[in-house]
Amino acid sequence: MSEIRTLALACRDAGPLLAALDTPSKRALLHGMADALHHRVREVLAANERDMQEARNKGLQGAMLDRLRLDEARIAGIAQAVREVAALPDPVGMVTRRETLANGIVVERVRIPLGVVAMIYEARPNVTADAAALCLMAGNAVMLRGGSEAIHSNRAIAAALHEALRAHGLPEAAVTLVEDLRRETMLALLQLSDIIDLAIPRGGEGLIRFVTEHARVPVIKHYKGVCHLYVDRSADLAVALNLLVDGKTSRPGVCNALETLLVHRDVASVFLPRAAAALIERGVVLCGDEATRALVPEARLATEDDYAAEFLDLVIAISVVDSVEQAIAHIRRYGSDHTEVIATNDHSAAQRFVQSLRSAVVMVNASSRFSDGGQLGLGAEIGISTTRLHAYGPMGAESLTIERFVVRGEGQVRHPESRFT
Amino acid sequence: MSEIRTLALACRDAGPLLAALDTPSKRALLHGMADALHHRVREVLAANERDMQEARNKGLQGAMLDRLRLDEARIAGIAQAVREVAALPDPVGMVTRRETLANGIVVERVRIPLGVVAMIYEARPNVTADAAALCLMAGNAVMLRGGSEAIHSNRAIAAALHEALRAHGLPEAAVTLVEDLRRETMLALLQLSDIIDLAIPRGGEGLIRFVTEHARVPVIKHYKGVCHLYVDRSADLAVALNLLVDGKTSRPGVCNALETLLVHRDVASVFLPRAAAALIERGVVLCGDEATRALVPEARLATEDDYAAEFLDLVIAISVVDSVEQAIAHIRRYGSDHTEVIATNDHSAAQRFVQSLRSAVVMVNASSRFSDGGQLGLGAEIGISTTRLHAYGPMGAESLTIERFVVRGEGQVRHPESRFT
């Protein structure tokens, strides 16, 4: 038996123990984890310094290096996030529906854990604690396969989590860190369809493609966000400008940042010069179609690739459209089903936009930057699903459970004629 | 471009038209389909006779032949089932939650169609109409890949469905019958992860394994049902006997029939001889462990394979257990996560049974035969999912949709400091 299979089986065996924990026990466990992260801050920082040193030696810099870096404040933030997960409503055991049928049987839908979740991610060491906390709160065991850049940090964080598991009489395997980072081992993990109930890849396009193409276990992708703002002819242009500036510039490196601006022709000559000035003032590079460039000479000509791009940077693609229908067609063609925004005061245009697009999050007069589990009331998120199955959009603790049927009767049978009397 | 890809793209292009249909239009379409099945009954019967002739030539007999066979009554039943789907609540557009957050944005969860569903099935031609009706009611386009035995019947049924689609101004591709039944074509279909949102295999183990092992599209399995009845020491034995006889004998060939009986040692000597007599009287063959055979000499010795078997026939495996925990351990070891039943008057035993098992359906004092979408109040089912993701257990029209986020604001942004004023 392969080593990864042995690890996964031990992880699965922890599942029933986790599924049986009551809410106070899970909360105590997560607070224990946060405490352990606090008092092991030196070890975690030392481990992170090793990762940082190796990363610098490899020539990593800028955003990559920053995502990897931990300091006391960031570790406190990670511990705080674990405490916030502990404060969430416990989804396990939630009765979502209850119905008494004509024959007297009572049919309930009750949430149970998924079982074993495999989290496959890159760079950010905080995911190690975040994902573990959310999975545990939902009663799941978790396999964590992080990136090689963060292996020392991930090990030190996992050691803190394991300390709390032991203190609560639970097996360390409930949170299993995969330390063998060879590609063939990840491949083997993704074949364990009798053990792993769900794989969640979070990271760059390459990682997500690899997982999707090779997995025999169910996968929920957290893919890219090519998010659009469409400024309708009836938009309040001051509102539209705020949505644009917030969406593009408040944090350009995240998946809910705006990448493309679509403007109705009737308001383009008023809106686009003002929008361009505001964006340029904040360091944004513009590209657009001919109609855009006629109004904004600073914009370079946009290519097909620009409209499909997730820039994750201070760059925006712009197009002038003739109607809400044309905006919808553009988004259908180039979008990634993540988040789209319409600025409009026309109720029927808003309805057409919402109903014609099948993106995970559609917003009317609100910033794309709200497309986030914390911002939309889920408390925390394990990611933003772009897979239209099980969970779509921001995915919280509840999405790490499944509804099953619990039926209670008093001896009812389907064919009373077969009754033994 | 491969032919199957061309077919799938046309199917997908029908999606937005279906997603946009209002409830009355969908109901009218389904009634049109039922009408078309009625007035094409001759064509369907003639096509079915070709399938039956070829099946007889190939030596098919018994249950296989019966599942393939159509007659006027069965076709009327298929049409009636389509009308029943038309009467279901429309899941599309359902607002499942609505919340106004502190910043004033209104967050709704709204059901939208999945997109394109690929149904992969065997023998029964009724699935062609059933699956199409459920997918359409949920606003989905559907690819139907039936078995070669039923190809003529499936074509004739699809022709009736297409007639109704045309009459309602919709493209025939909305219901695409895959007529190229080569294995490599099914393989190619299962690779179309940019087009197909969900594949649902329904049929024998071989088919389901093939689909699971080769698909790059999401799969929800409708796998076997190794369903258990556990008779607790505190059970009302008359109730237990009714559950046993109904579960095992009312329709042994279906997935919610009982396959294994577990009896608490304290009641075995009273219950098992009565149970054995009732089963034998109805033609059931028994196998069991030594404790069973001491009480029921007619039972042959059960093997490991017997306890893991989905007999789909008048055979039952029996084991005597010492406790509810031992029953739970047996089910965890041999079960298929489909449906389990406990007969008990002990509330705490019932709770332990329900909470310790993660099967899709768990019943207390009710027959396993209720594990069915129609019986549990879903109206109709596309199958019974044994995949613990998205849908688990009987899967109706609602499970062919996904909740997404619709957010409405009045210009709210996440970082007001980035506001352009």
User: CB of B363 within 8 Å of any CB in chain A?
Assistant: yes
Structure tokens at B157: 């049924």
The reported pLDDT for the residue numbered B203 is: 85
pLDDT for A292 beyond 80: yes
pLDDT for A337 beyond 60: yes
| Domain assignment of residue A384, yes or no | no
User: CB of A361 within 8 Å of any CB in chain B?
Assistant: yes
The reported pLDDT for the residue numbered A421 is: 52
DSSP A63: H
User: Per residue in B102-130, pLDDT tens?
Assistant: 999 999 999 999 999 999 998 789 999 99
User: CB of A87 within 8 Å of any CB in chain B?
Assistant: no
A105 vs B contacts (CB less than 8 Å): 366, 370
Contacts A–B by Cβ distance under 8 A: 235
At B1, is the pLDDT very low, low, confident or very high (cuts 50, 70, 90)? low
Q: Which residues contact B206 (CB under 8 A, 6 or more apart)?
A: none
| Domain assignment of residue A15, yes or no | yes
Residues B14 and B101 in one domain: yes
Max Cα distance, chain A (Å)? 89
Cβ atoms B50, B206 nearer than 8 A: no
Residues B365 and B307 in one domain: yes
The reported pLDDT for the residue numbered A222 is: 86
B249 vs A contacts (CB less than 8 Å): 418
| Domain assignment of residue A319, yes or no | yes
Q: Do A376 and B19 touch (CB under 8 A)?
A: no
Q: Which of A358, A402, A412 is the closest to B366 by Cβ?
A: A412
Q: Do A16 and B356 touch (CB under 8 A)?
A: yes
As a whole number, mean pLDDT of residues B217-242 equals: 95
User: In angstroms, what CA-CA distances link B269 with B189, B290, B291, B320?
Assistant: 55, 13, 10, 10
User: CB of A249 within 8 Å of any CB in chain B?
Assistant: yes
- State which residues form the domain around A7: 3-220+390-406
The reported pLDDT for the residue numbered A350 is: 98
Q: Do A411 and B387 touch (CB under 8 A)?
A: no
Residues A31 and A111 in one domain: yes
pLDDT for B99 beyond 90: yes
Helix (H, G, I), strand (E, B) or coil at A7: helix
| Domain assignment of residue B378, yes or no | no
Cβ atoms B239, B267 nearer than 8 A: no
Percentage of residues in chain A with pLDDT exceeding 70?
99
pLDDT for B43 beyond 80: yes
Q: How far apart are CA B33 and CA B128, in angstroms?
A: 12
Q: How far apart are CA A13 and CA B386, in angstroms?
A: 20
The reported pLDDT for the residue numbered A339 is: 98
| Global model pTM greater than 0.90 | yes
Mean pLDDT for chain A?
95
Look up residue A303 and give its amino acid.
T
Residues A63 and A198 in one domain: yes
The reported pLDDT for the residue numbered B105 is: 97
Q: Which residues contact A329 (CB under 8 A, 6 or more apart)?
A: none
The reported pLDDT for the residue numbered A205 is: 84
The reported pLDDT for the residue numbered A418 is: 67
> Residue A249's closest CA among A369, A394, A373?
A369
Hey, which of A52-61, A133-142, A200-209, B408-417 has the most confident mean pLDDT?
Answer: A133-142
User: Per residue in A39-98, pLDDT tens?
Assistant: 999 999 999 999 999 999 999 888 788 889 999 999 999 999 999 999 999 999 999 999
- CATH number of the domain enclosing A247: 3.40.309.10
User: Per residue in B172-196, pLDDT tens?
Assistant: 999 999 999 999 999 999 999 999 9
Residues B288 and B239 in one domain: yes
The reported pLDDT for the residue numbered B195 is: 96
Structure tokens at B396: 């109706």
User: Per residue in B232-267, pLDDT tens?
Assistant: 999 999 999 999 999 999 999 889 999 999 999 999
Helix (H, G, I), strand (E, B) or coil at B45: helix
Cβ atoms A148, A178 nearer than 8 A: no
- CATH number of the domain enclosing B29: 3.40.605.10
Strand partners, A341: A229, A363
| Domain assignment of residue B310, yes or no | yes
A20 vs B contacts (CB less than 8 Å): 355-356
The alpha carbon of residue A23 is apart from the nearest alpha carbon of chain B, in Å, by 14
User: CB of A181 within 8 Å of any CB in chain B?
Assistant: no
Q: Do B389 and A387 touch (CB under 8 A)?
A: no
Tell me which residues of chain A, numbers 11 to 40, contact chain B at a CB-CB cutoff of 8 Å. 16, 19-20
User: In angstroms, what CA-CA distances link B285 with B272, B313, B351?
Assistant: 14, 9, 32
Domains: count for chain B: 2
The reported pLDDT for the residue numbered A420 is: 60
Q: Do B105 and A366 touch (CB under 8 A)?
A: yes
Q: How far apart are CA B109 and CA B95, in angstroms?
A: 6
At B205, is the pLDDT very low, low, confident or very high (cuts 50, 70, 90)? confident
Residues B326 and B253 in one domain: yes
**Dihedral sign computed on CA atoms, order A201, A207, A210, A213:** positive
Strand pairing category for B383-389 and B391-395: antiparallel
| Domain assignment of residue A26, yes or no | yes
| Domain assignment of residue A378, yes or no | no
Cβ atoms B373, B396 nearer than 8 A: yes
> Residue A124's closest CA among A224, A55, A34, A186?
A55
ipTM, interface predicted TM-score of the complex: 0.94
Q: Which residue has the higher pLDDT, A69 or B205?
A: A69
pLDDT for B66 beyond 90: no
Burial (CB count <10 Å: 0-12, 13-18, 19+), residue B62: exposed
The reported pLDDT for the residue numbered A223 is: 85
Residues A99 and A192 in one domain: yes
Cβ atoms B247, B339 nearer than 8 A: no
Q: Which of B219, B366, B406 is the closest to A409 by Cβ?
A: B366
Residues B216 and B331 in one domain: no
The alpha carbon of residue A271 is apart from the nearest alpha carbon of chain B, in Å, by 13
Residues B250 and B340 in one domain: yes
Residues A366 and A238 in one domain: yes
| Domain assignment of residue A31, yes or no | yes
Residues B143 and B186 in one domain: yes
Q: Which of B376, B404, B413 is the closest to A243 by Cβ?
A: B413
A247 vs B contacts (CB less than 8 Å): 413
The alpha carbon of residue A120 is apart from the nearest alpha carbon of chain B, in Å, by 18
Residues B334 and B276 in one domain: yes
